[in-house]
Amino acid sequence: MAKVLGFLVLALSVLNCEAAIFKPISDSHRSAALELFTPAHGSLSSLEETYEALRTFEVLGIKKQPDQRAATCVTVGDTLSSPTSALKDLFQALRVNGLLNCELNKKTLADIAPRLKDVVKSASSLLDYYYSVGSLVLIKGLNSDVDVHLESADSVVRSIKALSQSDGRWRYSSNNPESSTYAAGIALESLAGVISLASSEIDQSLISMVKSDISKLLDGLEKYDDGAYYFDEKLADAHGHQGPLSASSAVVRGITAFAAVSAENLNLPGDKILGLARFLLGAGVPGNAKDLYYQIEALASLENNRVSIPLILSLPTSVLSLTRKDQLKVNVNTVLGATAPSLTVKLKQIFSSGSKDASVIDQDLKFDHKNGVHYLDALPKDIDVGNYIFSFEIVLHDSEHKMIYATGGRTKVPIYVTGVIIVDNAEISVLDSDLGNIETRKKLDLAGKNSISLSANHLQKLRLSFQLTSPLGNALKPHQAFLKLSHESKVEHIFVVGNSGKQFEIILDFLGLVEKFFYLSGRYDIQLTVGDAVMENSFLQPLGSVELDLPEAPEKAARPPPQAVDPSSRFGPKAEIAHIFRSPEKRPPSNLSYAFLALVLLPFVGFLVGLLRLRVNLKNFPTASAPAAFAILFHLAIVAVLSLYSLFWLKLNLFTTLKALGFLGIFLLFVGHRTLSHLASTSAKLKSA
Amino acid sequence: MSRALAILSLLLLAVLGNAFSPENPTDRKILVLLDDLSIKSSHSLYFQSLQTRGFDLDFKLADDPKIALQRYGQYLYDALILFSPSIDSLGGSLNAASILDFVDSGHDLILAADASASDLIREIATECGVDFDEDQSAMVIDHTSFAVSDTEGDHTLIAGDDFIQSDVILGKEKIKAPVLFKGIGHSVNPANSLVLKVLSASPSAYSANPKSKLSTPPTLTGSAISLVSVVQARNNARVLISGSLSMFSNRFFRSGVQKAGSTINHEKSGNEQFVTEISKWVFHERGHLKAVNVRHHKVGEADEPSIYRINDDLEYSLEIYEWSGTSWEPYVADDVQVQFYMMSPYVLKTMSTDQKGVYYTSFKVPDVYGVFQFKVEYEKLGVTSLSLAKQIPVRPFRHNEYERFITAAFPYYGASFSMMGGFFLFSLVYLYHK
């Protein structure tokens, strides 16, 4: 269920209760309408949308695009001539035709009229009545040849009336118990159509019943604080797109249509009509086509209605500068922005914000014929800067107009009067704590640049004072009067500067503040901010700095809170890391190794030389063929084992080496055993011999 | 090895299980919760811009009893827009915890508060690391950089132009006009590195009730006030928190803006551009990275080894792509770094790029053996963080891989071989001498 309260707050962002400005339809609506009703794919999807677009353009005075007229007229003609067209489509086609004036075949219209009349007679639901009656009214407006008059108008009115509820709302059909305000608007429009189609006078009692229904309906109006009235739609989303705006719009259209055809005066309260107009205007520029159509269509019917035409009082600007001597200007228009009849705007009262009492002024505003603006030459003398609520009243010159136009009594408008505030006598000083002696005093120019540098310790005080005077010489207490001390480490401290009259003064006793300052000594930048909504020269001034010498922090003192870091500094590439490899072990120079190699080989050479010197011989080598073969194999095997060791050094690994050594060893054992046993037997023979 | 696989598959799951589906990212369902259906109309330009970008918006009233974020454990939406600042309790089974669960599971959130922000909205924001001013009636006021307006004289309509410097978040195009803001301010925790202030207030701003006089200094002042903040969670879920709902409204979109004290009158405020660009970021149309084809091998080889030896020279490469809203484009940066990591990085190197998304580098395996990881932890302002880790063991030399012919050892070898030669000769002489 729609929470309607949020609607205006969001749509208007109006925060001031009871006083608000509603502006009539303006160019922003026109540009929005062009934007919203510009078809996405060349043409609008349905006749209903086409009608809404054309109607909105017509009311807003936007020239229609001629290129679409021909294509749309073809669709209209097709819809009307097809016997299977739904009632709703017929109605929409006729409505579009009403705006475009397509050249229609007279016969088609003559064919449709009886069909529509049948529907009117046999209809059971409200929408059937609405479409059929609406279509007949449209045909009547087009072509007087076709007979569209209803003979049994009374009974049709009765059967429509049968759907009404005690609270003035209507049901869509007799078997649907839920009632809606939107339906009430449709019903009133249909009734108005029936009355205009009736061939004979409608029973007066029926009309007065409808009148009482209307007044009951208006009793159900809900009100905002700012004087806007609206209908809350209780039946949510019955037709997909309903809310307070569509409901209020439908009722406004219904009532104005009914008022246009009924002969007698409906006696509707003007303030409620004005309130409805305000609600419709308060919706601002709706963001979708449907809402915009509802708004514009309802406002258009309010613009020329027989009940009462609302007049909207608006201000081009509600921020007035005393220094620039701005004039108070007021526009009075109808809802669509047309000029109002001759009238006088009176400024009746001025309420000052903060105080309840009002000053009664009762002053007429002058009228500038050229621009159509009511203006006040100069603001009343005693109006100083500040927030006010001005109360206006519209007085119509012609007494007959009082019956036609709804002005809504007094209109309250919030006004901000701003001005340049005089800032002077600014000075900053450092005081000794106990005696209050002034140690240093510096004058400040708060309009220009300042860069004082002071120094103080925790036993001293800092005093800042200045004066603010409003244009009329009164004291002004600005909303924002802050003194900010910010340490080098970005820790900030803010103090509100208090005042007595015009004089503003703040004394910072550092002894009491050391804990708050987290015992941080060092340079503090001083910044003064003075600002107010009515102060045109609000400023943020760096004054300079003070060098504070505070005592050392005790152990348990609070640490300063972490300060915000620049997000871009948090990211970014890290410093590269390269691995430092272990340095290789130190080795002797290769020449030294070769020298030692030579040294190591020397004994072997010595051994060889020794052998030669001993004249070794191999005479004992076996001579018999078999032992000689075994001896050769034995030594070859030894050579093989030794070469295996060399190979092990050169490339083989331990496993292949051991494997090969195993086989070689067995072989060596065998041939070794044969050779050695042969040698042993030879020597034994020798000995025995 | 299995751990490396598990980590990889987790990473993969994190990418695939994310709301952001690389296959069909344009078809994303967004749930829009409103206080009031009129917001749909008053903020229609914003919603339209989302719809034209292919998002499927589902509008619901925030207190609709039928709303649900998940069904049978599956999330029905990829993102949530909370435009219901005044809602006290959400409809259905929704509450602050379920919205936070939604974000925790990698989904995105846009939250707009207002002067009437309820405790629920504040709670959600606080959980995201953003603290709205506790004073319920406080608004951001700025007497020196407000937007000049004919109707609003209380200086709560702020023209903000202190944007975060990030192309990723706000788009390459500079935001031309100041952004209109009317609402409440918040502060972000300086210790929280996931929250970023996107739009900060000017130094003269403060957050207070405009209708009452101040006696104590306001809690939020100056540029510490954040007007709009974004959060990028560790799971790459993105959250936008704004203190103003009207910032998204048609009225502010269309309205002109003139900052106080400036003579430039912008015909159109920067709201539309700002809000559209930032929503592109929030809905992962920008700044979403993926890393593919992570490869490493020894120099001169093509296959990925299962183990490296100390002192091997290796090459490491990966490809990084950024989602551009329609396709994956090569990501170009010069600060992607790889770490060779065991307890702490042994090697940290910035990778070279070919400007087509491929990043590569080569380095020597350290002379320390153990189980290492190739780690790419890429974090940059605004882009999703990449966190890749691939485990790889490093072994020492085998017994036969040491140096064989050391000159310094030649005397020893010489001794052995001369001994062997001697032994052979001696055996001959001893056996056969006569």
Q: Enumerate residues 6+ apart whose C-beta is below 8 A from B242.
A: B110, B111, B112, B113, B183, B227, B228, B229, B248
- State the pLDDT at residue A423: 87
Are B122 and B207 in the same domain? yes
CA A459 – CA A436 distance, rounded (Å): 11
Phi, psi angles (nearest 5°) of residue A179? -115, 155
Cβ-in-10-Å burial (0-12, 13-18, 19+) of A70 comes to exposed
> A14 exposed, middle or buried (CB, 10 Å; 0-12, 13-18, 19+)?
buried
Which of A77-91, A586-600, A666-680, B299-313 is predicted with the least confidence, judged by mean pLDDT? Answer: A77-91
Low-confidence ranges of chain B (pLDDT < 70): 1-27
- Residue-range domain boundaries for chain A: 5-9+25-307, 312-418, 422-553, 620-681
The Cα A301–Cα A334 span in angstroms is 12
Between CA A668 and CA A631 the distance in angstroms is 10
B169 and B68 in a common domain: yes
User: Among the ranges A88-92, A211-215, A246-250, B315-319, which has the highest mean pLDDT value?
Assistant: B315-319
Domain hosting B31: range is 26-282
The tens digit of pLDDT for each residue in B282-313 reads 988 888 888 889 999 999 888 999 999 998 99
List pLDDT tens digits, range A384-432.
Answer: 888 888 888 888 888 777 778 887 778 888 888 888 888 888 888 888 8
Angle at the Cα of B153 from the Cα atoms of B152 and B156, rounded to 5 degrees: 75
* Contact criterion met (CB < 8 Å) for A532 and B143: yes
pLDDT at B420: 93
Q: Distance between CA atoms of A347 and A388, rounded to whole angstroms?
A: 13
**Is residue B220 located within the same domain as residue B324?**
no
Q: Which range (A18-22, A213-217, A373-377) has the least confidence?
A: A18-22
Tell me, yes or no, whether B155 lies in a domain. Answer: yes
Strands A460-469, A503-509: pairing is antiparallel
pLDDT of B314 reads: 93
CATH of residue B336: 2.60.40.1930
| pLDDT value at residue A25 | 81
DSSP at A202: P
Question: What pLDDT shows up at residue A220?
Answer: 79
Do the domain assignments include residue B413? no
CB B337 within 8 A of CB B291: no
Residues B219 and B129 in one domain: yes
Interface TM-score (ipTM) > 0.85: no
Say which of B141, B144, B431 has its CB closest to residue A539.
Answer: B144
pLDDT grade for A236, boundaries at 50, 70 and 90: low
Q: Give the C-alpha separation, A408 to A411, whole Å.
A: 7
DSSP for B334-348, written as a single string: S--EEEEEESEEEEE
Is residue B333 in some structural domain?
Answer: yes
How sure is the predictor about A13, in pLDDT bands with cuts at 50, 70 and 90? very low
A648-680 core/surface letters (b: 16 or more CB in 10 A; e: else): beeebeeeeeeebbeebeebbeebbebbeebbe
Same domain for B133 and B30: yes
Residue count of chain A, please give it: 689
> For B109-175, where are the alpha helices, taking DSSP H only?
119-127, 167-170
* B350: in domain: yes
- Judging contacts by C-beta atoms under 8 Å, the chain A residues touching residue B188 are 564
Q: Do B335 and B205 share a domain, yes or no?
A: no
Contacts of A529 in chain B (CB under 8 A): 204
Q: How far apart are CA B235 and CA B15, in angstroms?
A: 9
For residue A369, CA distances in Å to A25, A245, A325, A372, A374 come to: 21, 35, 21, 5, 9
> Is the predicted pLDDT of residue A354 greater than 70, yes or no?
no
Amino acid identity at A487 = H
Give me the pLDDT at residue A230, please.
84
CB-CB neighbors (< 8 A) of B412 in chain A: 600
DSSP A303: H
Least confident of A60-64, A72-76, A374-378, A473-477: A60-64
Which tens digit of pLDDT belongs to each residue from A151-195?
777 888 888 888 887 777 788 877 777 778 888 888 888 888 888
Q: Does B133 lie in the same domain as B275? A: yes
Quickly state the pLDDT bin for A40 (edges 50, 70, 90): low
Taking contacts as CB-CB distances below 8 angstroms, the residues of chain A near B409 are 593
> Which helix (DSSP H) or strand (DSSP E) does residue A426 occupy?
strand A422-432
pLDDT tens digits, B153-196: 888 899 988 998 888 889 888 888 999 999 999 999 888 888 99
Give the end of a domain, one of B261, B282, B303: B282
Q: How far is the C-alpha of B169 from the C-alpha of B283, rounded, in Å?
A: 11
The answer to whether residue B337 neighbours chain A at the CB level (below 8 Å) is: yes
Fold matches, A5-9+25-307 and A312-418? no
Q: Is the minimum CB–CB distance between A263 and chain B shorter than 8 Å?
A: no
Does the CB of B174 have a partner CB in chain A at under 8 Å? no
Instruction: Answer yes or no: is B424 within a domain.
Output: no
Contacts of A538 in chain B (CB under 8 A): 143-144, 204
| Protein fold of A422-553 | Coagulation Factor XIII; Chain A, domain 1 (2.70.50)
Q: Give per-residue pLDDT as tens, B348-377.
A: 999 999 988 899 999 999 999 999 999 999
Q: What is the DSSP letter of A41?
A: T
Q: Are A413 and A19 contacting, i.e. CB atoms less than 8 angstroms apart?
A: yes
Whether chain A has a CB inside 8 Å of the CB on B348: the answer is yes
Same domain for B63 and B153, yes or no, is yes
At B233, which amino acid appears? Answer: A
- Asked if A346 contacts A363 with a C-beta cutoff of 8 angstroms, the reply is yes
Q: Are A50 and A72 in contact (CB under 8 A)?
A: yes
* CB-based contact B162:B93 (threshold 8 Å): no
Contacts of A573 (CB under 8 A, 6+ apart): B335, B337, B350
- Number of domain units in chain B: 2
Please indicate if any CB of chain B lies within 8 Å of the CB of A489. Answer: no
Place of tokens 């007679």: A121
Residue B217 within any structural domain of the chain: yes
The pLDDT assigned to A238 comes to: 45
Tell me which of A659 and A512 has the higher pLDDT.
A659
Domain boundary among B221, B256, B282: B282
The CATH number given to A312-418 is 2.60.40.1080
Q: How confident is the model at residue A373 (pLDDT cuts 50, 70, 90)?
A: confident
Alpha-carbon distance B48 to B54, whole Å? 10
User: pLDDT by residue (tens digit) across A495-537?
Assistant: 999 888 888 999 888 888 888 888 888 899 999 999 888 888 8
Using a CB-CB cut-off of 8 Å, the residues of chain B touching A593 are 407-411
Is pLDDT at A472 greater than 90 in this prediction?
Answer: no
CATH number for A5-9+25-307 (one of 1.50.10.20, 1.25.40.10, 3.40.250.10, 3.30.1330.30): it is: 1.50.10.20
In a domain, B229, yes or no: yes
User: Of the ranges A154-168, A292-306, A323-337, which one carries the lowest mean pLDDT score?
Assistant: A154-168
| pTM listed for this prediction | 0.81
Q: Biggest alpha carbon distance in chain A?
A: 176
- Name the β-bridge partners of B393: B371
Same domain, B238 and B371: no
Q: How far is CA B106 from CA B25, B284, B286, in A?
A: 14, 11, 16
pLDDT at B406 (0 to 100): 86
Residues B166 and B297 placed together within one structural domain of the fold: no
Q: What are the structure tokens assigned to A91, written together?
A: 């109605």
The reported pLDDT for the residue numbered A199 is 73
What are the two backbone dihedrals, phi and then psi, of residue A271, each rounded to the nearest 5 degrees? -70, -30
pLDDT of residue B199: 93
Q: What is the mean pLDDT of residues A353-376?
A: 79
Confidence band, pLDDT 50/70/90 cuts, at residue A9? very low
Residues 365-394 of B with CB under 8 A from A: 366-368, 379-381
Q: Is the pLDDT of residue A89 over 90?
A: no
Is residue B257 domain-shared with residue B378, that is, in the same domain?
Answer: no
Give the percent of chain A with pLDDT over 90.
12
Q: Number of CB pairs < 8 Å for A and B?
A: 268
CATH number, position B90: 3.40.50
Report if residue B241 sits inside a domain.
Answer: yes
Are A274 and A407 spatial neighbours (Cβ–Cβ below 8 Å)?
yes
Q: Read off the tokens for B122.
A: 């504040």
Q: Please report how many Cα atoms fall inside a 13 Å half-sphere around the Cα of residue A413, on the Cβ side.
A: 31
**Structure-block tokens of residue B203:** 């130094």
What values do phi and psi take at A400, rounded to 5?
Answer: -65, -35
pLDDT, average across residues A213-241: 73
For residue A577, what is the DSSP state?
A: B
Closest CA to B372 of B294, B292, B308: B308
